Amino acid sequence: MLTDSLVLGAAEHAQLNTGDIFFQLIVFIILLALLKKFAWGPLMGIMKQREELISSEITAAENSRLEATKLLEEQRNLLKEARTDAQHLMENARKQGDVQRDEIISAARTEAERIKEAAKLEIEQQKEQAVAAIREQVASLSVLIASKVIEKELSAEDQDKLINEYIQEAGEER
């Protein structure tokens, strides 16, 4: 029984199954067309779409990377500029401060000089006044002292004599 099965019974049906040939061909072509329309076509479409999406995404990423680099460069430049500006401003402020300080110091010095001068002048005046007052007082004092001395030593006789003399003198002068 087993050996029977090993013999290929190809010669058993003598006729060629021509119908199978046509059926297989037609079915395969139909299958091809149907699969193209309903399965492989859409699948290929979506794969193509993904390919395009990926390529456009890559382009977009490249673009944004370039833009980011540009912006970064710009920002860096701006920062550098700002830093230089700030340095300039500080430098200017310092310079101005120096100038102002010098000005203030010199103004103060002049003012001080002026005040000193005025004070000196006043002192001088005061001194002169004081000297004048002292001189006046000395004169009146000496007169007083003289009159006291004279009053003490002059006798009545001498007084008369002196008065006369003055009178005489006064007459002659006229």
Partner 1 sequence: MHHEAPIVKFMGLYFNLANILMITIASAIVFLIAVLATRKLALKPTGMQNFFEWVLDFVRGIINSTMDWKEGGRFHILGITLLMYIFVSNMLGLPFSIVYDEKLWWKSPTADPIITLTLAVMVVGLSHYYGIKLQGGKGYAKGFFSPMGFLFPLKVIEEFANTLTLGLRLYGNIYAGELLLTLLAGGLAHTSIIGMIAAVPLTMVWQGFSIFVGSIQAYIFTMLTMVYMSHKVSHDH
Question: Could you tell me which of 155, 151, 133 has the C-alpha nearest to residue 143?
Answer: 151
Min dist. Cβ of residue 64 to partner 1 (A): 21
Q: Is the dihedral of CA 61, 63, 66, 67 positive or negative?
A: negative
State which residue, 6 or 170, has the beta carbon closest to partner 1: 6
State which residue, 27 or 131, has the beta carbon closest to partner 1: 27
Q: Does 4 bind partner 1 (CB under 8 A)?
A: yes
Residue in 11, 19, 152, 157 binding partner 1, rule: CB under 8 A: 19
Q: Does 11 bind partner 1 (CB under 8 A)?
A: no
Residue 99 to residue 92: CA distance in whole angstroms: 10
Residue 119 to residue 113: CA distance in whole angstroms: 10
Q: Report the residue count for the chain.
A: 174
Question: Could you tell me which of 14, 18, 38, 15 has the C-alpha nearest to residue 26?
Answer: 18
Q: Does 155 bind partner 1 (CB under 8 A)?
A: no
Scan residues 31-90 and list those touching partner 1 (CB under 8 A).
31-32, 34-36, 38-47, 49-50, 53
State which residue, 12 or 153, has the beta carbon closest to partner 1: 12
Q: Does 9 bind partner 1 (CB under 8 A)?
A: yes
